[in-house]
């Protein structure tokens, strides 16, 4: 098997069914793994109905969830995908090509957010800023669809089991192994984390990576951030 896609979820409920069905239909040869954070809201049941290959559960920590999924994966390449992200059609050939070439390869996609209906100027500006960052960042965020070969995953020490900033920590580990591949394709993301609190979400999005590098613990950052997904 060439590609295993790992999807961490938490309280997605009925909203996740269409996303999963679309993913399974578009990439039928991939292993799909959903790791739920004990949601108890129907997320797991929807995953089974959508035809996901493997459905796992553990405590609600995105780092721990993705590590569990990676340990269970059989593919030569691991793709960590958020439950509100949509892969472009050309992603299949691109990722399978990386898997076939092997080595300690890793990378991410460019990102473009779907603008929620009724979004004001502030939200549009903030989402545009996030999209712009994804075109040239050296340390990708998790919503860009970080991927790596199994060899790169093992060489970097694997996925950190932490409450927040797991994507930043993981990308920093991978950077020590090899140079990042930025695929010439755009992943569509959701702007839902900005709904209801756009300024606060943007403040966290810009400041937390800096605070993390200054030594603030992932647990403290997670308490400040809350559970907006």
The predicted-structure confidence for 111-122, as pLDDT tens digits, reads as follows 998 877 777 777
In terms of pTM, does the model score above 0.85?
Answer: yes
Q: Taking the CB of residue 129, how many other CB atoms lie within 10 A of it? A: 12
pLDDT per position as a tens digit, 210-224: 999 999 999 899 888
- Domain 3-117+131-192 class, CATH top level: alpha beta
Dihedrals phi, psi of 220, to nearest 5 degrees:
-65, -40
Cα of 205 vs its chain's centroid, Å: 15
Q: What is the pLDDT of residue 228?
A: 47
pLDDT per position as a tens digit, 67-89: 999 999 999 999 999 998 999 99
Cα–Cα distance, 93 to 51 (Å, whole number) = 22
User: Sheet containing 106-114: which strands, arranged edge to edge?
Assistant: 54-57, 31-36, 3-9, 77-80, 147-149, 106-114, 180-190
Report yes or no: 38 and 58 within 8 Å, Cβ to Cβ: yes
């Amino acid at each position: 098997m060439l590609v295993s896609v790992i999807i961490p979820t938490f309280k997605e409920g009925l909203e996740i069914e269409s996303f999963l069905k679309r993913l399974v239909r578009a990439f039928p040869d991939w292993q799909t793994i959903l790791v739920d954070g004990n949601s108890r809201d129907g997320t797991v049941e929807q995953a089974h109905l959508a035809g996901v290959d493997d459905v796992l559960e553990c405590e609600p920590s995105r780092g721990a969830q993705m590590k569990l999924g990676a340990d269970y994966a059989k593919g030569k390449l691991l793709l960590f995908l958020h439950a509100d992200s949509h892969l472009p059609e050309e992603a299949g050939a691109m990722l399978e090509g990386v898997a076939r070439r092997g080595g300690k390869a890793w990378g991410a996609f460019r990102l473009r957010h779907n603008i929620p209906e009724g979004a004001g100027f502030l939200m549009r500006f903030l989402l545009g800023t996030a999209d712009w960052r994804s075109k040239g960042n050296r340390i990708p965020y998790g919503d860009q669809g970080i991927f790596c070969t199994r060899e790169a995953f093992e060489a970097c020490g694997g996925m950190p089991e932490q409450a927040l900033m797991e994507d930043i920590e993981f990308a920093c580990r991978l950077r020590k192994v090899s140079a990042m591949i930025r695929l010439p394709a755009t992943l569509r993301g959701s702007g839902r984390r900005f709904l209801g609190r756009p300024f606060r979400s943007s403040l966290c999005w810009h400041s937390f990576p800096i605070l993390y590098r200054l030594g603030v613990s992932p647990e403290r950052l997670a308490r400040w951030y809350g559970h907006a997904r």
